[in-house]
Amino acid sequence: MRYTSNNSNDLYDNNFEPDYYDDSNYVNDGDDVRSLKKRRRGRKRRRIVLWLITLGIAAILIDLSVLLYTGKIWFNSPTRKEYPVQGITLSSLQGAINFNALEIENISFAYLKASEGKGLKDKQFSASWEDSKDSTVKTGAYHKFSFSDDGEEQAKNFINTVGRISNDGYRLYPAVEVTKSGLSLASPPKKETVIKELKEYCKTIKNEYAVNPIIITGDKFYKEYLKDDFSGYKLWIIDLLSKPKSINWSLWCYSPRGKLNGTSETKNYISLSAFNGTRENFSKIQY
């Protein structure tokens, strides 16, 4: 059966199928679906890869943080070849000291905390100072300077704690640590006050021991507070990220996370330092 419209060009029969059933449309639609699924799978794989990379980086950062915290790796590692004279600083935090064990660890010198402020004395100092007499490890005493106490009174506290320093070649020049900590981090001390009180401290120490104390401080603090008034002093610079470069220094504290045999409180870390020079040069800070 045929149907003829008024328009002679329009001819239809009973077997006519509309355009949307065209096989070519089915093929194109299938291609689009497959392409969409492929793109989705690609995006999913990229998300998975990105997550794996992120997790991997996080794991590496965590491992690195643990290694840094435990002192197994550090930013600096000065070699014995470059710095043959290396030493440590100790206080009651490290407990009793076995100086024979430190000798085996190839430690050349040890500075013992003697006092802090105008009245505090380190409870381990006297015993360690006495025990060190029979050791080849050169020993010195240091004071933790307080920004809130009188400089002369602090020096007298150090002198009363340490007493006379024997001229036997095994004692080192006294040292004073001048760094921000505790409240002084939040409320920095005035420069004029620091200079005045530290000058009084150093004057009293020199009158007693005939030498200026070695100043232990950071590069930034030295430049901001001390550079103009203490330029002639021997410096012990604390720089945990790199070797001090911008100032003339005698000693360098390069890590606070040392682990050595020779201390009874083994869970507490030890600050590691290096002397800037030869063994012969090192004798110039010995009594």
Question: E strands within 145-269?
Answer: 175-177, 214-218, 235-238, 251-258
Task: Pick the closest to residue 76 from 276, 274, 251, 277 (CA basis).
Answer: 274
**285 token code pair:** 């800070």
Say if residues 71 and 258 touch (Cβ distance below 8 Å). yes
pLDDT value of residue 49: 74
190: DSSP letter: P
Say if residues 234 and 277 touch (Cβ distance below 8 Å). no
pLDDT value of residue 30: 60
107: DSSP letter: -
Question: E strands within 186-269?
Answer: 214-218, 235-238, 251-258
Report how far residue 270's alpha carbon sits from residue 91's, in angstroms, rounded to the nearest whole number. 9
pLDDT in tens, the chain (287 residues): 444 445 544 444 445 445 444 444 444 556 677 777 777 777 878 887 787 777 777 766 665 555 555 555 556 788 999 999 999 999 999 999 999 999 999 999 999 999 999 999 999 999 999 999 989 999 999 999 999 999 999 999 999 999 999 888 899 999 999 999 888 888 899 999 999 999 999 999 999 999 999 999 999 999 999 999 998 999 999 999 889 987 899 999 999 989 999 999 988 999 999 999 999 999 999 99
Report how far residue 70's alpha carbon sits from residue 25's, in angstroms, rounded to the nearest whole number. 67
pTM, two decimals, is 0.76
Say if residues 231 and 70 touch (Cβ distance below 8 Å). no
